[in-house]
A = this chain, B = another copy of it.
Amino acid sequence: MASLKSWVTIRENHHFSIANLPFGIIHSKYDASHRPAVAIGDLVLDLKAFSSHKGFSALPSLDISVFSQTSLNAFAALGRRVHGEVRSYLQDILSESTTHPDVLKDNEELKKAVLLPKHETKTHLPMAIGDFTDFFAGKNHAFNVGTMFRGPANALQPNYTHLPVGYHGRSSSIVNSGTPVRRPNGQIVLDPAADPKIPFFGPSRKLDFELELGAFLCTGNTLGDPIRIADAEEHIFGYVLMNDWSARDIQTWEYIPLGPFNAKNFATTISPWVVLAGALEPYKTHGIPNTNQLFPYLKETDSYTAFDIKLSVELTTAEESTSLISQTNAKWLLWSFPQMLAHHSAGGCAMRTGDLLGSGTISGEGEKELGSMLEMSQGGNREIWLRGMEVRRWLLDGDTVTLSGYAGEDEARVGFGECVGRVESAVIF
Protein backbone atom coordinates (compact mmCIF):
# COMPACT_ATOMS: atom_id res chain seq x y z
CA MET A 1 0.00 0.00 0.00
CA ALA A 2 1.37 3.40 -0.95
CA SER A 3 1.95 5.23 2.27
CA LEU A 4 -0.19 8.33 2.92
CA LYS A 5 1.24 11.27 4.78
CA SER A 6 -0.89 13.49 6.97
CA TRP A 7 -0.61 17.22 7.56
CA VAL A 8 -1.24 16.37 11.21
CA THR A 9 2.08 15.94 13.02
CA ILE A 10 2.27 12.27 13.96
CA ARG A 11 5.35 10.77 15.54
CA GLU A 12 6.88 7.74 13.90
CA ASN A 13 5.23 4.41 14.59
CA HIS A 14 2.22 6.04 16.17
CA HIS A 15 -0.62 3.52 16.43
CA PHE A 16 -3.07 6.05 15.06
CA SER A 17 -1.50 6.86 11.73
CA ILE A 18 -3.48 8.13 8.77
CA ALA A 19 -3.51 4.55 7.53
CA ASN A 20 -5.56 3.60 10.57
CA LEU A 21 -8.23 6.14 11.59
CA PRO A 22 -9.95 4.05 14.25
CA PHE A 23 -13.40 5.06 15.49
CA GLY A 24 -14.40 5.60 19.09
CA ILE A 25 -16.74 7.46 21.42
CA ILE A 26 -15.45 10.46 23.34
CA HIS A 27 -16.47 13.33 25.47
CA SER A 28 -14.30 16.39 25.91
CA LYS A 29 -13.56 19.09 28.41
CA TYR A 30 -15.89 21.56 26.72
CA ASP A 31 -18.63 19.21 25.55
CA ALA A 32 -19.79 16.45 27.90
CA SER A 33 -21.91 14.69 25.27
CA HIS A 34 -20.74 11.24 24.22
CA ARG A 35 -20.12 11.26 20.49
CA PRO A 36 -18.23 9.52 17.70
CA ALA A 37 -14.67 10.48 16.90
CA VAL A 38 -11.66 9.30 14.94
CA ALA A 39 -8.16 9.13 16.38
CA ILE A 40 -5.30 10.59 14.35
CA GLY A 41 -1.92 10.81 16.07
CA ASP A 42 -2.35 12.58 19.38
CA LEU A 43 -5.47 14.30 18.13
CA VAL A 44 -9.07 13.29 17.99
CA LEU A 45 -11.40 14.33 15.19
CA ASP A 46 -14.81 15.07 16.69
CA LEU A 47 -17.21 13.66 14.09
CA LYS A 48 -20.27 15.25 15.59
CA ALA A 49 -18.71 18.69 15.33
CA PHE A 50 -17.12 17.91 11.96
CA SER A 51 -20.37 16.71 10.44
CA SER A 52 -22.40 19.61 11.88
CA HIS A 53 -19.90 21.98 10.24
CA LYS A 54 -20.64 20.35 6.88
CA GLY A 55 -17.39 18.40 6.91
CA PHE A 56 -19.09 15.54 5.07
CA SER A 57 -20.84 17.61 2.40
CA ALA A 58 -18.67 15.89 -0.19
CA LEU A 59 -20.50 12.67 0.75
CA PRO A 60 -24.08 13.84 0.25
CA SER A 61 -25.67 10.44 0.58
CA LEU A 62 -24.12 9.85 4.02
CA ASP A 63 -26.62 9.95 6.87
CA ILE A 64 -24.68 12.21 9.24
CA SER A 65 -27.16 11.71 12.07
CA VAL A 66 -25.10 8.62 12.92
CA PHE A 67 -22.44 10.99 14.27
CA SER A 68 -24.82 12.45 16.83
CA GLN A 69 -25.31 9.11 18.55
CA THR A 70 -23.72 8.06 21.85
CA SER A 71 -22.38 4.83 20.37
CA LEU A 72 -20.98 3.77 17.01
CA ASN A 73 -23.87 1.38 16.41
CA ALA A 74 -25.77 3.59 13.97
CA PHE A 75 -22.62 4.27 11.97
CA ALA A 76 -21.71 0.57 12.05
CA ALA A 77 -25.18 -0.40 10.84
CA LEU A 78 -24.60 1.54 7.61
CA GLY A 79 -22.40 -1.32 6.49
CA ARG A 80 -18.90 -1.94 5.26
CA ARG A 81 -19.18 -0.01 2.01
CA VAL A 82 -20.09 3.18 3.86
CA HIS A 83 -17.35 2.66 6.48
CA GLY A 84 -14.88 2.37 3.64
CA GLU A 85 -16.14 5.53 1.96
CA VAL A 86 -16.03 7.53 5.18
CA ARG A 87 -12.60 6.29 6.12
CA SER A 88 -11.21 6.96 2.63
CA TYR A 89 -12.72 10.41 2.65
CA LEU A 90 -11.21 11.19 6.06
CA GLN A 91 -7.85 9.87 4.87
CA ASP A 92 -8.08 12.30 2.00
CA ILE A 93 -9.14 15.21 4.23
CA LEU A 94 -6.28 14.52 6.60
CA SER A 95 -3.60 13.85 4.01
CA GLU A 96 -0.95 16.31 2.97
CA SER A 97 -2.06 15.97 -0.63
CA THR A 98 -5.77 16.28 0.16
CA THR A 99 -8.09 17.03 -2.74
CA HIS A 100 -10.23 19.09 -0.36
CA PRO A 101 -7.75 21.40 1.44
CA ASP A 102 -10.55 23.91 2.08
CA VAL A 103 -12.50 21.48 4.25
CA LEU A 104 -10.01 21.14 7.07
CA LYS A 105 -6.34 21.45 6.17
CA ASP A 106 -6.57 25.17 5.38
CA ASN A 107 -9.47 25.92 7.67
CA GLU A 108 -7.86 26.99 10.95
CA GLU A 109 -11.15 27.80 12.60
CA LEU A 110 -12.67 24.42 11.91
CA LYS A 111 -9.47 22.68 12.97
CA LYS A 112 -9.78 24.33 16.36
CA ALA A 113 -13.40 23.25 16.62
CA VAL A 114 -13.08 19.63 15.55
CA LEU A 115 -9.50 18.47 16.17
CA LEU A 116 -9.11 18.00 19.90
CA PRO A 117 -5.93 17.19 21.78
CA LYS A 118 -6.41 13.65 23.01
CA HIS A 119 -5.61 14.60 26.60
CA GLU A 120 -8.62 16.89 26.63
CA THR A 121 -10.90 14.01 25.73
CA LYS A 122 -12.02 10.85 27.45
CA THR A 123 -13.04 7.69 25.66
CA HIS A 124 -16.06 5.53 26.42
CA LEU A 125 -17.23 2.10 25.34
CA PRO A 126 -17.44 2.46 21.56
CA MET A 127 -20.50 0.30 21.00
CA ALA A 128 -23.75 -0.55 22.72
CA ILE A 129 -23.13 -4.27 23.08
CA GLY A 130 -26.19 -6.49 22.82
CA ASP A 131 -24.52 -9.84 23.25
CA PHE A 132 -20.94 -10.89 23.85
CA THR A 133 -19.56 -14.28 22.84
CA ASP A 134 -16.11 -15.48 23.72
CA PHE A 135 -14.52 -18.14 21.53
CA PHE A 136 -11.56 -20.41 22.19
CA ALA A 137 -9.80 -20.19 18.83
CA GLY A 138 -6.28 -19.76 20.21
CA LYS A 139 -5.12 -23.28 19.52
CA ASN A 140 -1.83 -22.97 21.37
CA HIS A 141 -3.67 -21.71 24.43
CA ALA A 142 -6.20 -24.54 24.21
CA PHE A 143 -3.35 -27.00 23.82
CA ASN A 144 -1.33 -25.56 26.71
CA VAL A 145 -4.28 -25.56 29.08
CA GLY A 146 -5.49 -28.98 27.92
CA THR A 147 -2.01 -30.40 28.48
CA MET A 148 -2.10 -29.29 32.13
CA PHE A 149 -5.31 -31.24 32.70
CA ARG A 150 -5.05 -34.21 30.36
CA GLY A 151 -1.50 -34.38 29.03
CA PRO A 152 -0.39 -33.50 25.49
CA ALA A 153 -1.96 -36.52 23.76
CA ASN A 154 -5.48 -35.55 24.83
CA ALA A 155 -4.92 -31.82 25.22
CA LEU A 156 -7.43 -30.77 22.58
CA GLN A 157 -10.99 -31.98 23.02
CA PRO A 158 -12.37 -34.04 20.10
CA ASN A 159 -14.62 -31.21 18.91
CA TYR A 160 -11.85 -28.61 18.93
CA THR A 161 -10.79 -28.83 15.28
CA HIS A 162 -14.33 -29.44 14.01
CA LEU A 163 -16.02 -26.30 15.22
CA PRO A 164 -15.07 -23.00 16.84
CA VAL A 165 -15.88 -23.70 20.48
CA GLY A 166 -17.36 -20.68 22.24
CA TYR A 167 -19.64 -19.64 25.06
CA HIS A 168 -21.96 -16.76 25.76
CA GLY A 169 -20.36 -14.07 27.87
CA ARG A 170 -21.76 -11.19 29.85
CA SER A 171 -22.24 -7.91 28.03
CA SER A 172 -23.03 -5.82 31.13
CA SER A 173 -19.54 -6.11 32.56
CA ILE A 174 -17.61 -5.14 29.44
CA VAL A 175 -15.69 -2.02 30.38
CA ASN A 176 -13.56 0.52 28.62
CA SER A 177 -9.80 0.50 28.99
CA GLY A 178 -8.75 2.23 32.19
CA THR A 179 -11.69 1.06 34.27
CA PRO A 180 -10.44 -0.49 37.54
CA VAL A 181 -11.16 -4.19 37.90
CA ARG A 182 -12.23 -5.49 41.26
CA ARG A 183 -10.95 -8.86 42.28
CA PRO A 184 -14.02 -11.08 42.48
CA ASN A 185 -15.16 -13.07 45.47
CA GLY A 186 -16.38 -16.55 44.77
CA GLN A 187 -16.52 -20.16 45.81
CA ILE A 188 -13.14 -21.81 45.69
CA VAL A 189 -11.95 -25.34 46.46
CA LEU A 190 -8.42 -25.28 47.83
CA ASP A 191 -7.86 -29.01 47.87
CA PRO A 192 -9.03 -30.49 44.58
CA ALA A 193 -8.18 -34.01 45.80
CA ALA A 194 -10.46 -33.85 48.85
CA ASP A 195 -13.56 -36.04 48.77
CA PRO A 196 -16.03 -34.48 49.23
CA LYS A 197 -14.72 -31.19 47.92
CA ILE A 198 -15.12 -28.35 50.40
CA PRO A 199 -15.38 -24.86 48.94
CA PHE A 200 -14.76 -21.64 50.82
CA PHE A 201 -16.04 -18.23 49.84
CA GLY A 202 -13.59 -15.39 49.42
CA PRO A 203 -11.46 -13.36 47.03
CA SER A 204 -10.06 -15.22 44.03
CA ARG A 205 -6.45 -16.25 44.63
CA LYS A 206 -5.87 -17.06 40.96
CA LEU A 207 -6.78 -13.87 39.16
CA ASP A 208 -5.53 -13.87 35.58
CA PHE A 209 -5.80 -11.94 32.36
CA GLU A 210 -6.48 -13.27 28.87
CA LEU A 211 -5.03 -11.58 25.81
CA GLU A 212 -7.65 -11.60 23.07
CA LEU A 213 -8.74 -9.89 19.90
CA GLY A 214 -12.36 -8.75 19.84
CA ALA A 215 -14.50 -8.21 16.75
CA PHE A 216 -17.53 -5.90 16.67
CA LEU A 217 -20.35 -6.64 14.26
CA CYS A 218 -21.77 -3.95 12.02
CA THR A 219 -24.76 -5.86 10.73
CA GLY A 220 -26.67 -8.92 11.85
CA ASN A 221 -29.13 -11.47 10.60
CA THR A 222 -32.76 -12.31 11.15
CA LEU A 223 -33.40 -15.03 13.72
CA GLY A 224 -33.54 -18.36 11.91
CA ASP A 225 -31.55 -17.15 8.91
CA PRO A 226 -27.87 -18.12 9.27
CA ILE A 227 -25.02 -15.95 8.05
CA ARG A 228 -23.24 -17.85 5.30
CA ILE A 229 -19.47 -18.11 5.46
CA ALA A 230 -19.06 -16.24 2.17
CA ASP A 231 -20.97 -13.26 3.59
CA ALA A 232 -19.58 -13.32 7.12
CA GLU A 233 -16.70 -10.91 6.57
CA GLU A 234 -19.17 -8.19 5.55
CA HIS A 235 -20.77 -8.34 9.01
CA ILE A 236 -17.56 -7.38 10.82
CA PHE A 237 -17.23 -3.71 11.69
CA GLY A 238 -13.79 -3.73 13.27
CA TYR A 239 -11.50 -4.95 15.99
CA VAL A 240 -10.38 -4.11 19.52
CA LEU A 241 -8.00 -5.64 22.02
CA MET A 242 -9.71 -7.51 24.79
CA ASN A 243 -8.68 -8.62 28.25
CA ASP A 244 -10.99 -11.39 29.38
CA TRP A 245 -10.10 -11.26 33.08
CA SER A 246 -10.45 -14.73 34.56
CA ALA A 247 -10.61 -16.12 38.09
CA ARG A 248 -9.15 -19.57 37.59
CA ASP A 249 -10.04 -20.94 41.00
CA ILE A 250 -13.66 -19.82 40.77
CA GLN A 251 -13.86 -21.37 37.31
CA THR A 252 -12.51 -24.76 38.37
CA TRP A 253 -15.34 -25.27 40.85
CA GLU A 254 -18.26 -23.64 39.06
CA TYR A 255 -17.83 -24.62 35.42
CA ILE A 256 -19.12 -28.17 35.51
CA PRO A 257 -21.32 -28.83 33.59
CA LEU A 258 -22.40 -25.48 32.09
CA GLY A 259 -19.15 -23.59 31.52
CA PRO A 260 -17.46 -20.46 32.91
CA PHE A 261 -19.74 -18.02 34.71
CA ASN A 262 -18.64 -15.89 37.67
CA ALA A 263 -15.03 -16.69 36.77
CA LYS A 264 -15.46 -14.38 33.78
CA ASN A 265 -18.42 -12.08 34.26
CA PHE A 266 -16.89 -9.65 36.77
CA ALA A 267 -15.10 -7.66 34.04
CA THR A 268 -13.95 -7.77 30.43
CA THR A 269 -11.85 -4.82 29.29
CA ILE A 270 -11.64 -3.61 25.70
CA SER A 271 -9.53 -0.97 24.02
CA PRO A 272 -11.55 2.16 23.19
CA TRP A 273 -10.73 2.63 19.49
CA VAL A 274 -12.34 0.30 16.96
CA VAL A 275 -9.85 -0.41 14.19
CA LEU A 276 -12.04 -0.81 11.13
CA ALA A 277 -11.85 -4.07 9.24
CA GLY A 278 -10.75 -2.13 6.17
CA ALA A 279 -7.71 -0.72 7.98
CA LEU A 280 -6.49 -4.21 8.82
CA GLU A 281 -7.12 -5.62 5.35
CA PRO A 282 -3.46 -5.18 4.24
CA TYR A 283 -2.31 -7.19 7.24
CA LYS A 284 -4.26 -10.34 6.58
CA THR A 285 -2.20 -13.47 6.89
CA HIS A 286 -2.55 -17.21 7.44
CA GLY A 287 -3.94 -18.38 10.73
CA ILE A 288 -3.03 -21.75 12.23
CA PRO A 289 -3.86 -24.32 9.56
CA ASN A 290 -6.72 -26.67 10.28
CA THR A 291 -5.97 -30.07 8.83
CA ASN A 292 -9.51 -31.24 9.46
CA GLN A 293 -11.90 -31.61 6.57
CA LEU A 294 -14.29 -28.78 7.35
CA PHE A 295 -18.02 -28.76 6.73
CA PRO A 296 -19.00 -26.42 3.89
CA TYR A 297 -20.63 -23.96 6.30
CA LEU A 298 -17.17 -23.32 7.79
CA LYS A 299 -15.06 -23.52 4.64
CA GLU A 300 -13.39 -20.31 3.51
CA THR A 301 -12.12 -19.74 0.01
CA ASP A 302 -9.44 -17.32 1.14
CA SER A 303 -6.67 -18.67 3.34
CA TYR A 304 -5.61 -15.19 4.55
CA THR A 305 -8.07 -15.17 7.39
CA ALA A 306 -5.97 -14.04 10.35
CA PHE A 307 -4.15 -10.77 11.00
CA ASP A 308 -0.47 -10.12 11.43
CA ILE A 309 -0.91 -8.00 14.55
CA LYS A 310 2.00 -7.85 16.98
CA LEU A 311 0.64 -8.16 20.50
CA SER A 312 2.28 -7.49 23.83
CA VAL A 313 1.40 -7.71 27.49
CA GLU A 314 2.94 -5.60 30.22
CA LEU A 315 2.48 -6.02 33.93
CA THR A 316 3.00 -2.96 36.11
CA THR A 317 3.24 -3.49 39.84
CA ALA A 318 1.74 -1.22 42.47
CA GLU A 319 5.25 0.29 42.78
CA GLU A 320 5.03 1.19 39.08
CA SER A 321 7.69 -1.19 37.87
CA THR A 322 6.71 -2.39 34.40
CA SER A 323 7.70 -5.74 32.88
CA LEU A 324 7.02 -6.94 29.38
CA ILE A 325 5.69 -10.44 30.05
CA SER A 326 4.53 -11.54 26.61
CA GLN A 327 4.98 -10.78 22.94
CA THR A 328 2.89 -12.69 20.49
CA ASN A 329 0.81 -12.27 17.36
CA ALA A 330 -2.89 -12.28 16.54
CA LYS A 331 -2.29 -14.78 13.77
CA TRP A 332 -2.18 -17.66 16.27
CA LEU A 333 -5.81 -18.58 15.81
CA LEU A 334 -7.21 -21.79 14.43
CA TRP A 335 -10.55 -20.23 13.56
CA SER A 336 -11.22 -16.94 11.81
CA PHE A 337 -13.87 -14.45 12.87
CA PRO A 338 -15.94 -15.21 9.76
CA GLN A 339 -15.89 -18.87 10.77
CA MET A 340 -16.94 -17.97 14.30
CA LEU A 341 -19.79 -15.92 12.90
CA ALA A 342 -20.91 -18.62 10.47
CA HIS A 343 -20.86 -21.18 13.27
CA HIS A 344 -22.56 -18.91 15.82
CA SER A 345 -25.48 -18.28 13.49
CA ALA A 346 -25.60 -21.73 11.87
CA GLY A 347 -28.51 -22.81 14.05
CA GLY A 348 -30.31 -19.53 13.41
CA CYS A 349 -29.04 -17.42 16.31
CA ALA A 350 -29.62 -13.73 15.59
CA MET A 351 -26.51 -11.55 15.50
CA ARG A 352 -26.95 -7.82 15.92
CA THR A 353 -25.09 -4.59 15.30
CA GLY A 354 -22.74 -4.04 18.25
CA ASP A 355 -22.34 -7.68 19.19
CA LEU A 356 -18.83 -8.50 20.33
CA LEU A 357 -16.96 -11.73 19.54
CA GLY A 358 -13.78 -12.57 21.43
CA SER A 359 -11.13 -14.70 19.76
CA GLY A 360 -10.12 -16.63 22.84
CA THR A 361 -6.72 -16.32 24.45
CA ILE A 362 -3.93 -15.85 21.95
CA SER A 363 -0.65 -17.62 22.68
CA GLY A 364 2.26 -18.10 20.32
CA GLU A 365 4.52 -21.10 20.24
CA GLY A 366 7.29 -20.00 22.57
CA GLU A 367 7.21 -19.61 26.31
CA LYS A 368 7.60 -15.82 26.03
CA GLU A 369 4.54 -15.68 23.77
CA LEU A 370 1.79 -16.73 26.13
CA GLY A 371 -1.54 -14.98 26.52
CA SER A 372 -2.33 -15.83 30.14
CA MET A 373 -0.59 -16.29 33.47
CA LEU A 374 -2.24 -19.70 33.68
CA GLU A 375 0.12 -20.75 30.91
CA MET A 376 3.12 -18.66 32.03
CA SER A 377 3.04 -20.08 35.54
CA GLN A 378 1.87 -23.51 34.38
CA GLY A 379 -1.19 -23.39 36.55
CA GLY A 380 0.56 -21.51 39.34
CA ASN A 381 3.31 -24.08 39.57
CA ARG A 382 6.19 -21.83 38.64
CA GLU A 383 7.13 -18.22 39.05
CA ILE A 384 6.82 -15.54 36.43
CA TRP A 385 9.86 -13.27 36.84
CA LEU A 386 9.35 -9.54 36.65
CA ARG A 387 11.86 -6.68 36.64
CA GLY A 388 13.65 -6.21 39.94
CA MET A 389 13.33 -9.92 40.67
CA GLU A 390 9.71 -9.63 41.72
CA VAL A 391 7.64 -12.67 40.93
CA ARG A 392 4.05 -13.52 40.19
CA ARG A 393 2.04 -16.65 39.72
CA TRP A 394 -1.24 -14.71 39.52
CA LEU A 395 -2.21 -11.06 39.69
CA LEU A 396 -1.85 -9.11 42.93
CA ASP A 397 -4.02 -6.21 44.02
CA GLY A 398 -2.53 -3.08 42.52
CA ASP A 399 -1.14 -4.84 39.44
CA THR A 400 -1.93 -3.23 36.11
CA VAL A 401 -2.18 -5.28 32.92
CA THR A 402 -1.63 -3.42 29.66
CA LEU A 403 -2.34 -5.08 26.34
CA SER A 404 -1.03 -3.45 23.23
CA GLY A 405 -1.09 -4.35 19.56
CA TYR A 406 -0.31 -3.04 16.10
CA ALA A 407 0.21 -4.01 12.50
CA GLY A 408 2.49 -2.29 10.00
CA GLU A 409 5.33 0.16 10.34
CA ASP A 410 6.16 3.85 10.42
CA GLU A 411 3.62 6.07 8.73
CA ALA A 412 1.35 3.16 7.93
CA ARG A 413 1.11 1.70 11.38
CA VAL A 414 -2.34 0.44 12.29
CA GLY A 415 -2.45 0.09 16.05
CA PHE A 416 -5.01 -0.42 18.77
CA GLY A 417 -3.46 1.75 21.44
CA GLU A 418 -3.74 0.15 24.83
CA CYS A 419 -6.18 -1.97 26.76
CA VAL A 420 -5.46 -1.31 30.42
CA GLY A 421 -6.87 -2.44 33.74
CA ARG A 422 -5.65 -2.22 37.30
CA VAL A 423 -6.66 -4.79 39.88
CA GLU A 424 -8.45 -3.45 42.94
CA SER A 425 -8.86 -5.44 46.10
CA ALA A 426 -12.00 -7.50 46.57
CA VAL A 427 -15.18 -6.36 48.27
CA ILE A 428 -15.26 -7.51 51.88
CA PHE A 429 -18.37 -9.59 52.53
Contacts and interface: CB of A to CB of B under 8 A. Distances in A.
Interface in A176-229: 179-180, 182, 184-187, 196-197, 199, 201, 204, 220, 223-226
A348 interface: yes
Nearest to A263: B347
A30 interface: no
Copies in the complex: 2
Interface string A249-268: 01001111111111101110
A234 interface: no
Contacts of A257: 157, 165, 255, 259
Contacts of A352: 172
Contacts of A351: 172
Interface in A52-73: none
A250 B349 CA distance: 14
B427 A261 contact: no
A347 B266 contact: yes
Nearest to A197: B158
B159 A265 contact: no
B296 A429 contact: yes
A258 B259 contact: yes
Contact of A187 (B162, B254, B262): B162
Nearest to A260: B258
A37 to B, nearest CB: 24
- By size class, the interface of chain A is 35 or more
Contacts of A130: 171-172
A269 to B, nearest CB: 11
A184 B347 contact: yes
Contacts of A239: none
Contacts of A348: 173, 182, 184-185, 266-267, 427
A158 B193 CA distance: 12
A392 B355 CA distance: 37
Contact of A171 (B131, B199, B256, B343): B131
Contacts of A201: 295-297, 346
A89 interface: no
A167 B168 contact: yes
A246 to B, nearest CB: 11
A187 to B, nearest CB: 5
Interface in A410-429: 424, 427, 429
A173 to B, nearest CB: 5
B350 A261 contact: no
Interface in A325-377: 343-344, 346-352, 355
26 contacts: A131-B172, A157-B256, A158-B197, A159-B187, A159-B253, A159-B256, A162-B253, A165-B261, A168-B261, A168-B265, A171-B171, A175-B223, A180-B224, A186-B346, A186-B347, A201-B295, A201-B296, A223-B267, A225-B427, A226-B429, A255-B257, A261-B344, A262-B349, A265-B347, A266-B349, A348-B427
Interface of A: 130-131, 136, 157-159, 162-163, 165-173, 175, 179-180, 182, 184-187, 196-197, 199, 201, 204, 220, 223-226, 247, 250, 253-263, 265-267, 295-297, 343-344, 346-352, 355, 424, 427, 429
Nearest 9 A-B pairs (CB), nearest first?
A259-B259, A184-B347, A167-B258, A182-B224, A168-B168, A266-B347, A265-B349, A201-B295, A172-B350
